[in-house]
Amino acid sequence: MSAIAALPSARIADEAWETAHADVLATLRDLIRIRSVNPVPADAPDGETRAARYLADRLAALGLEPEVVEPVPGRGSVHARLRGDGTGGGPFLLLSHLDVVPAPPERWTHDPFAADIADGYVYGRGAVDMKGMVALEYGVVARLVAEARAAGRDPADDPIPGLRRDVLFTCTADEEAGADVGAKWLAAEHPDWLRAAGAVNECGGVSVTIAGRRLYPIQIAEKGIAPYRIRVRGTWGHGSMPREDNAAVMAARIVGRLAAPTPLQVTPTMTRFLEEAAAALPDGPAAVLLRIAAGDVDGADADRAMDDICDPMYARALRALVRNTLSPDVIQTGVKYNVIPGDAIIEVDCRVLPGTTEPEARALVESLIGPDLLPACTIENLVWGEPVETPASGPLWDILVATLRDHDAEAVPIPAMAPFGTDAKITIPLGTPTFGFSPLRLDPDERFLERFHGIDERVSLEALRFGLPVLYDVVRRFCG
């Protein structure tokens, strides 16, 4: 039994939920068909603005007064506000992004921008990252507006019945490429669109079935981003007389050193994640997770143990969450087979744990390159995205956990970290506790993590059907 009041969604008739679900589905399909690709392609230069205007039109049709901003033509974000009576504290933010990564169609079984429905799934770029959540958040807004209208209120001006806080609906541009013309711009120009007493965003609240147990990691932390460009100086020469300071050879050595796994470093968030996951899992996998949490295993052994207990898809994510990672992703060198190159460029994607600074990330790269090769290198930081963390405690956290359990009796909600970045990098420093919580209950064998930026991105109709009342209850409980 939850200590929090009964489920608000239970007061709404099944037929009303059916109608709302159909509307969420239609909204998602419309959004997928708007090619809001980032980096912006030449043949669809205004996708984000079209997506923002589409939502603004839908919100205006509900009777709200949405705003679209475009710091750069074509790069639109949209915002609307539902009023509470103001007695419950700061607002609640429904956060999302409108852009999607490119989707070369060759290996897809469905056109990535057609929003086909097949086998109980909606297919398309953005289905999980993150137009599905945009549609769910819109669905909650539409539901609240319907309740205001039923009570004879004007949703543009009057408080929504039962809401003690305002509800903000903000969809950003440019999340997939650094947020400069999305959340970062909004934080400077419209901070009231992002500042709230609590927020839900992507990357969490999605079921993960491991050893038959349904875990729901809720994102509370994300790693920092610190890519570096390393210029390697060797000596130009004739390929007939090999030399040790061939920049290609030096670069190859450096890449090998950067790619080796770094030592385990288990942060408090991950300790709690591992311990709470262990408590839900059978003895064998639980023992492995507890050993990693306790730090009494070395990195290579921990990696092998993770491979043994989970699917490679999850093991890869888990390995990345218990250490700083480096992935050398670009190597450029050489002009001709018989010319020894004197220059090489390596770009390495470095992701660091909360608590790590940029100088510490750089020091890690330098130490891995090693004292023999470091003098030949100049190292340039390309981007710095601070790691962020919000506490897994407080009223909103308790509501997220309780609401998942109320909707899925077997749910095991646990606090988690994302190995990559989201707009939470911007909202958490603004003072908004931001949780990755886009509630979906998936089939046990759905390879959700591989759908992110992958081929055949899709979300099941049943998962969306689960998510809408969960999200509605979270809003009603936190704002009630």
By beta carbon distance, the residue nearest Zn ion is 129
Note whether 130 binds Zn ion by CB under 5 A.
Answer: yes
The stretch among 116-124, 127-135, 226-234, 358-366 that binds Zn ion (CB under 5 A) is 127-135
Question: Which part of the chain contacts Zn ion (CB under 5 A), choosing from 65-73, 123-131, 204-212, 460-468?
Answer: 123-131
How many angstroms separate the CA atoms of 363 and 384, rounded?
Answer: 14
Closest distance of CB 199 from Zn ion, Å: 14
CB of residue 128 to Zn ion, shortest distance in Å: 8
- For this structure, is 99 an active site residue? yes
Q: How far is the CB of 458 from Zn ion (least distance, A)?
A: 15
User: Measured from the CB of residue 130, what is the shortest distance to Zn ion in angstroms?
Assistant: 4
CB nearer to Zn ion: give 83 or 125.
Answer: 125
Q: Please report how close the Cβ of residue 204 comes to Zn ion at its closest, in angstroms.
A: 12
Rounded to a whole number of angstroms, the minimum distance from the CB of residue 113 to Zn ion is: 17
Q: Which of 124-132, 228-236, 340-348, 349-357 is the region at the interface with Zn ion (rule: CB under 5 A)?
A: 124-132
Position 129 contacts Zn ion (CB under 5 A) = yes
> Taking CB under 5 A as the rule, does residue 222 contact Zn ion?
no
Query: For the chain, how many residues are written?
Result: 480
Strands 237-238 and 339-340: antiparallel
Catalytic-role residue among 46, 99, 389, 457: 99
Q: Which among 121-129, 226-234, 264-272, 435-443 is the span making contact with Zn ion, rule CB under 5 A? A: 121-129
CA distances from 30 to 114, 363, 376, 409 (A): 9, 47, 53, 33
With binding defined as CB under 5 A, does residue 98 bind Zn ion? Answer: no
b or e along 325-334 (b: 16 or more beta carbons within 10 Å of the residue's beta carbon)? bbebeebebe
The residue among 351, 345, 349 whose CA lies nearest residue 378 is: 345
- Please, what is the minimum distance in Å from the beta carbon of residue 138 to Zn ion? 16
SS (H, E, C) 385-435: ECCEECCCCCHHHHHHHHHHHHHCCCCEEEEEEECCCCCHHHHCCCCCCEE
Residues 225-254 that bind Zn ion (CB under 5 A): none
Q: Which is nearer to Zn ion, 328 or 467 (CB)?
A: 467
CA dihedral 415, 416, 422, 423 (to 10 degrees): 20
- The single-letter code of the amino acid at 35 is R
Q: Report the amino acid identity of residue 410.
A: E
Q: Does 55 bind Zn ion (CB under 5 A)?
A: no
Between residues 202 and 473, which has the closer beta carbon with respect to Zn ion?
202
CB of 44 to Zn ion, least distance (A): 18
Between 97 and 476, CB nearer to Zn ion: 97
Nearer to Zn ion, 125 or 213 (CB): 125
18 is a catalytic site residue: no
Nearest CB to Zn ion, comparing residues 129 and 386: 129
Q: Toward Zn ion, which CB reaches closer, 307 or 456?
A: 456
| Residue placing its CB nearer to Zn ion in the complex, 132 or 155 | 132
- Tell me how crowded residue 86 is: count the other CB atoms within 10 A of its CB: 12
Q: What phi, psi does 221 have (nearest 5°)?
A: -145, 155
Size of the site for Zn ion (CB under 5 A): 3
Cis peptide before 417 (omega within 30 of 0): no
344: Cα separation from own chain's centroid: 33
Give me the catalytic one of 46, 129, 137, 175: 175
For residue 310 the two structure tokens come to 């989970």
Write each residue from 192 to 211 as x if it is in contact with Zn ion (CB under 5 A), else as -, in one continuous string: ----------x---------
For 367-402, b/e burial (b = at least 16 CB within 10 A) is: ebbeeebbebbeeeeeeebbbbbbebeeebbbbbbb
Tokens of 346: 């390596």
- Spatial separation of the C-alpha atoms in residues 267 and 345, rounded to whole Å: 33
Tell me, residue by residue from 156 to 195, as one string, x for binding to Zn ion by CB under 5 A and - for no binding.
----------------------------------------
Give me the sign of the Cα torsion angle 401, 429, 226, 172. Answer: positive
What does the CA dihedral 376, 382, 385, 386 come to, rounded to 10 degrees? 30
Cβ–Cβ under 8 Å, residues 121 and 468: no
Report which of 210, 193, 197, 135 is spatially closest to residue 397, judged by C-alpha positions. Answer: 197
Which 386-405 positions form the footprint of Zn ion (CB under 5 A)? none
Q: Which residues bind Zn ion (CB under 5 A)?
A: 129-130, 202
Active site residues: 99, 175
